[in-house]
Amino acid sequence: MFLKDKSTGDLVEVLDMAAMVDPCREKLEGRYHAGEELQDPAQFVKDRLEFPSGEELPRCWIDAGYRGTRH
C-alpha cells in the first residue's frame, strides 16, 4: 500500500501494515517510492501521511482514544 508524505508529496510504500492500522503506534515502517533505486526503509510518523488522493487517514488508525472523543 502507498501513502503520501504531506510535506513533500512523495509516495511512501508501507512495509508494516499492522503498525499502520494500530492506533497505539505513532510511527510505521516504510520507504519512499521515488527515483530509480530502491530506497532504504525508514520510520514515518503516521499523522504526517495521507492517502495519495489527499484524504486523511482514518482516526481509528491514529488516535487510540477515538471512541471516547467527539469531534
Q: What is the pLDDT of residues 4-36, one digit of tens each?
A: 999 999 999 999 999 999 999 999 999 999 878
Q: What is the pLDDT of residues 36-52, one digit of tens each?
A: 888 999 999 999 999 99
Closest CA to 49 of 16, 9, 6: 6
Range of the domain at 43: 2-62
Given a contact cutoff of 8 angstroms between Cβ atoms, the answer to whether 20 and 31 are in contact is: no
Q: Please check whether residue 70 lies inside any domain of the structure.
A: no
Q: Please check whether residue 68 lies inside any domain of the structure.
A: no
Question: What's the confidence (pLDDT) of residue 71?
Answer: 54
* 18: three-class secondary structure by DSSP: helix
pTM for the model: 0.85
DSSP tag of 47: G
Question: What's the confidence (pLDDT) of residue 7?
Answer: 95
Residue found under cell 503498525:
19
- Judged against a pLDDT cut of 90, whether residue 62 lies above it is answered with yes
- Give the count of domains, the chain: 1
Q: Please check whether residue 69 lies inside any domain of the structure.
A: no
